């Protein structure tokens, strides 16, 4: 069996064996273009590795837990993380590994290497795979070589690669991967070139940076950019970046680092005019060879130009609307980008949001006239919209901080549990845990005060208990948006809070004790391993990840407070309008309320208030016995299900029940400590329900489609948080009884 191919292996195998990139590099080398000599590890090696370790069906089980189309991106990311760890833990067959390492040594000796992905689908799949899979440079030593080959293979199963294949309609589980190995060229200057500008057929585009290409490719470093007339090769425009203060260089260990550039070098453009001419010549040679305009990557070292990659520019290229690769690529954020987001969120956005909230809270709504209230309501709608937009543009992307950390942790530590890293992120002061502490304090006061308990049982919070209790309630309300955005009828809120406090009196406060020591041990382990594995400061990465994790929960609470203020103004508006004898439907929108306040007449849909949902006979006929989701927090628990379809259902929730819910809103995570287990329809390891469940050591399954449809309040259910399986015992056992007696 042949696993590895070099330039001597004529005729060259096709792209199904060595991948599109591998084949192109072979052809370019044979044509005399200055390509660092390539060797290709064929897809047969991938097959052997996968079969040898029984990974094929493990991948199938991960990706077909439910229909990929029904999976949220987060769930696919989770599955990818698990698959990647399977690859890292698996061993390359001895004969195969020896064959690969021997061949590489024969060709390259001990030189540092570039190890790059080469997907067979790249040819003719109707989509480009550029940038979707991983490549590694400056790889040294047999152990690292073998590890990086496995990482390239595993990158076939990254979330973005899986989603993109799915998008292209490829049969995901049948994918395979070839690997290109080349000597690493330590470039002084690197860049890319389009031999034809996708936006202007008469031009060429050249971009260059000092040092290596990495920063340019992922957008971390702004390049110098030249537009060149194709016909006479004259430079039409040289666009300089704002500053050239950083560059990517080879790291002493392995890989690359982003470093500060020396002033003298930073003042100079990476290429002078003859330099530009040299790259243009190279580009034209490639174009001539392939007889089509090319998108190339190049580098220059010791005065020589090297061609790192070339691919044809497809019609319209990057601007083609049908190609969503760019979107899939955007699913990862660079470390630098995340650090910037972190600063922006903590230094600017959160304080601004809090200021807005304070301003809104200070307004005495009861004093306002209809017209004034309309103005105030409009201001609140606008603020709420603005912060919601910010939530999507800044807070959500910052959640990638946790992902990046998770990937680095797993690459460095190679733990048995792919989500072990979460333990390092928890145990910090999150607003939701602080809020739960306040609830516990209230519960302690209630436990010692029987008249307070009586009031709580009646759902009364106003003027009960002592000043200490009232202070805590007021702090709960003002700081943690427990007033449930969207609950509509605010009178329900007091009942829910009362019920929760009573439930918290039953909670064993020690159960919240976490494995602090374990977390510290993992932290030391991570620092030690990561120091050898990555070039960024592990402590800074961990701080960023912790901020990302914390803000992921807290941002909702912050933004929830703005929403709560909008809701409050709506309630005032309804009361005022009704006082003035105007008809207001309970479910009226905020905007329509404004119109009513401004004296406009609007059509109100009375039927919208009446939504009847009754269980049909057939729903009883089709029942789930076992439902499969994503294991999100370990442990097994059996309990009575409490299905939450509406906020009001929460007041019936009792300690020890299994919470079954569409999605735990961050403003309601304080229910979690009371639950025996949690089941969520929405999937993902990093959603709020999963985070809080891990925090409190409660079994949790996420991503069970139809959880709230197929499980009924009162069902006995067992939640297996190791495997992600929920077993439903039937509430009505009549038919079992019928079947239990022998029938003759």
Partner 1 sequence: MDKTERLMQERIKALLSEQPLAVLSTQRNGQPYSSLMAFAHTEDLHAIVVATGKSTRKHQNIIQDSRVSLLVDNRSNNEEDFHSAAALTVLGVAKPIDTDERPVYEAIYLKRHPYLEKFLRSPATTFIKIAVKHYLLVSRFQNVMEYRISDEVDLFA
Q: Would you tell me which residues interact with partner 1 (CB under 8 A)? A: 54, 56-57, 60-61, 63-66, 173, 616, 618-628, 709-710, 723, 725, 735, 738-739, 742-744
Report the residue number, 2 or 56, with the smaller CB distance to partner 1: 56
Please check whether residue 411 is in contact with residue 529, taking contact to mean a CB–CB distance below 8 angstroms.
no
- Rounded CA-CA distance 460/446 in Å is 13
The nearest distance, CB 509 to partner 1, in angstroms, is 36
The nearest distance, CB 8 to partner 1, in angstroms, is 36
The nearest distance, CB 60 to partner 1, in angstroms, is 4
> Which value, to the nearest 10 degrees, does the dihedral of the CA atoms of residues 87, 90, 96, 99 take?
80
The nearest distance, CB 707 to partner 1, in angstroms, is 12
Report the residue number, 50 or 570, with the smaller CB distance to partner 1: 50
- Rounded CA-CA distance 405/274 in Å is 43
CA-wise closest residue to 270 among 306, 299, 291: 299
The nearest distance, CB 542 to partner 1, in angstroms, is 35
Report the residue number, 491 or 626, with the smaller CB distance to partner 1: 626
Angle of the 370-390 helix axis to the 590-597 helix axis, nearest 10: 160
Pairing state of beta strands 235-239 and 224-229?
A: antiparallel
The nearest distance, CB 45 to partner 1, in angstroms, is 20
The nearest distance, CB 618 to partner 1, in angstroms, is 4
Report the residue number, 454 or 625, with the smaller CB distance to partner 1: 625
Report the residue number, 231 or 615, with the smaller CB distance to partner 1: 615
Report the residue number, 306 or 710, with the smaller CB distance to partner 1: 710
The nearest distance, CB 633 to partner 1, in angstroms, is 18
- Rounded CA-CA distance 694/426 in Å is 8
The nearest distance, CB 155 to partner 1, in angstroms, is 22
Report the residue number, 523 or 709, with the smaller CB distance to partner 1: 709
CA 719 to mean position of chain CA atoms: 25
Please report the DSSP string for 433-490 in residue order. HHHHHHHHHHHHHHHT-HHHHHHHHTT--TT-S-HHHHHHHHHHHHHH-TT-TT---T
CA count, 13 A, side-chain hemisphere, 361: 14
- Rounded CA-CA distance 196/203 in Å is 6
The nearest distance, CB 171 to partner 1, in angstroms, is 11
How many other CB atoms are found less than 10 A from the CB of residue 322? Answer: 8
Cα dist from 671 to 382, 478, 676, whole Å: 31, 18, 11
The nearest distance, CB 722 to partner 1, in angstroms, is 12
The nearest distance, CB 738 to partner 1, in angstroms, is 7
Report the residue number, 174 or 524, with the smaller CB distance to partner 1: 174
Report the residue number, 32 or 742, with the smaller CB distance to partner 1: 742
Report the residue number, 165 or 546, with the smaller CB distance to partner 1: 165
Report the residue number, 580 or 730, with the smaller CB distance to partner 1: 730
Burial of 736 per CB tally in 10 Å (0-12, 13-18, 19+): exposed
Tokens coding 431? 């607003």
Please check whether residue 670 is in contact with residue 437, taking contact to mean a CB–CB distance below 8 angstroms.
no
Report the residue number, 612 or 616, with the smaller CB distance to partner 1: 616
Alpha helix locations (H) across 291-349? Answer: 325-329, 335-343
Please check whether residue 499 is in contact with residue 397, taking contact to mean a CB–CB distance below 8 angstroms.
no
Pairing state of beta strands 636-644 and 658-661?
A: parallel
- Rounded CA-CA distance 671/503 in Å is 9
The nearest distance, CB 113 to partner 1, in angstroms, is 34
The nearest distance, CB 744 to partner 1, in angstroms, is 6
How many other CB atoms are found less than 10 A from the CB of residue 616? Answer: 8
Report the residue number, 252 or 735, with the smaller CB distance to partner 1: 735
- Rounded CA-CA distance 396/330 in Å is 13
The nearest distance, CB 56 to partner 1, in angstroms, is 6
Burial of 274 per CB tally in 10 Å (0-12, 13-18, 19+): exposed
Report the residue number, 506 or 723, with the smaller CB distance to partner 1: 723
Report the residue number, 67 or 450, with the smaller CB distance to partner 1: 67
Tokens 């499969």 belong to 628
CA count, 13 A, side-chain hemisphere, 114: 22
Cα dist from 478 to 350, 560, 667, whole Å: 16, 11, 12
Alpha helix locations (H) across 291-395? Answer: 325-329, 335-343, 350-362, 370-390
278: three-class secondary structure by DSSP: helix
């Amino acid at each position: 069996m042949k696993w590895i191919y070099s330039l001597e292996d004529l005729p060259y195998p096709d792209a199904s064996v060595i991948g599109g990139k591998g084949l192109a590099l072979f052809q370019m080398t044979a044509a005399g273009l200055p390509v660092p000599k390539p060797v290709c590890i064929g897809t047969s090696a991938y097959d052997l590795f996968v079969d040898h370790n029984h990974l094929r069906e493990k991948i199938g089980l991960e990706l077909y837990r439910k229909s990929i189309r029904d999976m949220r991106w987060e769930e696919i990311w989770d599955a990818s993380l698990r698959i990647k760890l399977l690859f890292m833990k698996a061993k390359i067959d001895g004969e195969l590994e020896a064959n690969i390492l021997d061949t590489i040594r024969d060709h390259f000796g001990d030189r540092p290497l570039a190890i790059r992905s080469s997907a067979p689908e790249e040819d003719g799949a109707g989509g480009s795979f550029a940038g979707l899979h991983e490549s590694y440079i400056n790889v040294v030593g047999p152990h690292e070589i073998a590890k990086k080959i496995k990482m390239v293979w595993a990158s076939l199963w990254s979330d973005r690669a899986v989603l993109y294949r799915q998008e292209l309609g490829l049969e995901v589980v049948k994918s395979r991967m070839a690997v290109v190995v080349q000597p690493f060229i330590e470039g002084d200057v690197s860049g890319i070139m389009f031999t034809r500008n996708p936006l202007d057929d008469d031009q060429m585009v050249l971009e260059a940076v000092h040092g290596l290409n990495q920063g340019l490719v992922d957008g971390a470093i702004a390049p110098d950019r030249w537009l060149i007339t194709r016909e006479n090769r004259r430079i039409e425009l040289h666009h300089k970046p704002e500053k050239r203060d950083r560059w990517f260089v080879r790291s002493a260990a392995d890989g690359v680092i982003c470093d500060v550039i020396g002033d003298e070098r930073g003042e100079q453009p990476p290429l002078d005019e003859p330099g530009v001419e040299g790259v243009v010549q190279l580009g034209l040679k490639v174009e001539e060879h392939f007889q089509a305009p090319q998108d190339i990557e190049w580098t220059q070292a010791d005065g020589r130009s090297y061609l790192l990659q070339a691919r044809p520019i497809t019609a319209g290229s990057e601007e083609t609307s049908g190609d969503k690769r760019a979107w899939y690529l955007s699913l990862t954020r660079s470390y630098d980008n995340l650090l910037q987001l972190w600063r922006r969120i903590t230094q600017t956005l959160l304080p601004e949001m809090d200021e807005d909230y304070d301003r809104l809270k200070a307004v005495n709504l009861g004093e306002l006239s209809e017209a004034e209230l309309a103005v105030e309501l409009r201001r609140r709608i606008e603020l709420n919209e603005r912060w919601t937009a910010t939530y999507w543009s800044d807070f959500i992307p910052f959640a990638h901080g946790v992902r990046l950390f998770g990937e680095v942790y797993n690459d460095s530590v190679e733990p048995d549990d792919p989500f072990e890293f979460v333990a390092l992120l928890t145990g910090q002061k999150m607003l939701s845990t602080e809020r739960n502490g306040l609830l516990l304090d209230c519960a302690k006061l209630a436990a010692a005060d029987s008249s307070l308990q009586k009031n709580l049982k009646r759902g009364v919070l106003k003027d009960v208990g002592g000043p200490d209790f009232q202070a805590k309630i007021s702090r709960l309300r003002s700081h943690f948006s427990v007033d449930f955005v969207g609950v509509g009828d605010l009178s329900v809120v007091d009942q829910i809070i009362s019920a929760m406090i009573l439930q918290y009196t039953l909670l064993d406060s020690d159960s919240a004790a976490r494995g602090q020591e374990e977390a510290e041990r993992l932290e030391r382990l991570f620092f030690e391993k990561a120091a050898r594995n990555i070039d960024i400061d592990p402590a800074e990465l961990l701080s960023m990840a912790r901020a990302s994790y914390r803000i992921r929960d807290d941002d909702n609470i912050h933004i929830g407070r703005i929403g709560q203020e909008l809701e409050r103004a709506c309630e005032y508006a309804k009361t005022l309008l009704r006082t003035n004898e105007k008809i207001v439907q309970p479910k009226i929108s905020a905007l329509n309320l404004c119109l009513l306040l401004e004296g406009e007449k609007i059509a109100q849909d009375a039927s919208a208030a009446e939504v009847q949902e009754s269980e049909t006979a057939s729903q009883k006929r089709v029942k789930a016995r076992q439902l499969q989701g994503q294991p999100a927090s370990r442990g097994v628990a059996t309990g009575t299900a409490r299905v939450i379809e509406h906020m009001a259902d929460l007041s019936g929730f009792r300690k020890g029940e299994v919470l079954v819910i569409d999605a735990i809103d961050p403003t309601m995570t304080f229910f979690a400590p009371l639950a025996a287990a949690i089941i969520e329809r929405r999937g993902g390891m990093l959603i709020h329900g999963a985070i809080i469940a891990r925090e409190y050591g409660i079994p949790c399954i996420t991503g069970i489609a139809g959880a709230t449809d197929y499980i009924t309040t009162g069902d006995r259910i067992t939640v297996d948080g190791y495997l992600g399986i929920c077993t439903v015992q039937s509430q009505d056992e009549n038919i079992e009884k019928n079947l239990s007696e022998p029938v003759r």
